[in-house]
Amino acid sequence: MENVQNVPTQSKLFAKGDLLLIAIILITAFGFGFHIFSSNVGNGFKPFPTAVEIYLSNKLIKVLPLTQEGYYKMKYNNISFSVQIKSGKVRMQESNCPRKVCVHQGWIEHSGESIICVPNKVVIKIVGRERTLSVPKKDEVDAITF
Amino acid sequence: MLLHSETKVEAYSDTSLRNSDQYILLISLLSALAIVLQIIESMIFPPQVIWFRIGLANCISIIAIYLVGLSGALYVVITRTILASIFLGTFLSPPFVISFLSGIASVISMGIAKNVFKNFFSPIGISIIGALSHNLTQIAVVVMMLGFSLELIRYLLPILMIGSLLAGFITGYVAKNVIIRIG
């Protein structure tokens, strides 16, 4: 058996290189994974702030940050509507469409939600990272399982 | 056993012995073992439910690298991935492409690590290298299939690196004991 090369002996569990390799992998993994533990600190982790996109007949006409509170009145030919942004929520405040479905929908706040006004062809859409991911609100449950 | 005490374990690295019956027998035996292990593992960890496996078949790849060298281990891993996917019914599907390419990549990197750094790594270290390169190739193939996403890399890479450390340790420990006993 002496002439057999590279066959390990049973005496030690790890060779020198193994420990070095394990150390390098652990350091790299924790370096890459640091943001997983620190993602609750501040808002610097967001790729872009949450925004409201307003489309008129499939064309993007306005992008508003969700943090910028206020009323936004818009008028295009015979279409007029106004959008209100308040404390991270957005709603269609008024619209000149006949049945006012978009106005009655109320506030939307989560990324991916949208208000659609069919007669005027207006779409209000929230884009960006979910706000509750980095700043969890109180008294709100993420999910319930049984 | 197949290997008599006089036989050199590394003898198959010589090209003259490549066509001997024992070499071919060893490769087919290892392939059969690897196929069985992969099928058993896919029953224990069904890939539709659990997305993390420890890679028991990778054990056989390490043993093959020590017994029949890098080229023999490549034969074993190619046979194993193709035949096991045919038996499991995933031939030419995305999981097969992923396991095929990453199996080849892990065997090549393990063979290079073993041949270049002679005794620097024990089988455990070589197994960790193989598991890591398997996971990295997996991510690369998925990125090529589905497109690059920063979230995937940011969240999956650290988890997969630590996971490959654990899986590599388990398979390497088994392979080391097998090699000590039959080598």
Closest approach of B15 to chain A, Cα-based (Å): 17
ipTM score for this prediction: 0.80
pTM above 0.80, yes or no: no
For A42, left (φ over 0), alpha (ψ -120 to 50), or beta?
left
* Contact with chain A for residue B40, Cβ under 8 A: no
The model's pLDDT over A59-117, given as tens digits with 9 standing for 90+, comes to 888 888 888 888 989 888 888 999 999 888 899 999 998 999 999 998 988 877 889 99
- Among partner residues B122, B129, B159, which is closest to A15 by beta-carbon distance? B122
H helices within chain B, ranges in order? 21-44, 56-88, 94-116, 123-146, 150-182
How confident is the model at residue B159, as a pLDDT? 87
Beta-carbon separation of B123 and A36 below 8 A: no
Q: How far is the C-alpha of A133 from the C-alpha of A127, rounded, in Å?
A: 14
Given pLDDT bands bounded at 50, 70 and 90, which one contains residue A35? Answer: confident
Q: How far is the C-alpha of B111 from the C-alpha of B100, rounded, in Å?
A: 17
CB contacts, 8 Å: B162 with chain A: 25-26, 29
A43 with A135: CB under 8 angstroms? yes
Which CATH architecture best describes the domain B15-182?
Answer: Orthogonal Bundle (1.10)
How confident is the model at residue B62, as a pLDDT? 93
Sheet holding A89-95, edge to edge: A70-76, A79-86, A89-95
The label of the residue with tokens 């980095």 reads A134
Beta-carbon separation of B165 and A25 below 8 A: yes
Nearest chain A residue (CA) to B156: A33
Residue B40, both tokens: 């058993």
Count CA atoms closer than 13 A to B111's CA, side-chain side: 20
CB contacts, 8 Å: B120 with chain A: 15-17
Residue A127, both tokens: 């884009």
Beta-carbon separation of B5 and A1 below 8 A: yes
Distance of CA A121 to the CA centre of its chain: 26
What average pLDDT does the structure give for chain A?
77
Q: How far is the C-alpha of B47 from the C-alpha of B50, rounded, in Å?
A: 5
Beta-carbon separation of A21 and B121 below 8 A: yes
Going residue by residue through chain B, which has 183 residues, state the pLDDT in tens, using 9 for 90 and above. 444 444 445 545 556 667 788 888 989 999 999 999 999 998 888 877 777 888 888 999 999 998 888 999 999 999 999 999 999 998 998 889 999 999 999 999 999 999 898 788 889 999 999 999 999 999 999 888 888 877 778 788 888 899 999 999 999 999 998 988 886
* Contact with chain A for residue B157, Cβ under 8 A: yes
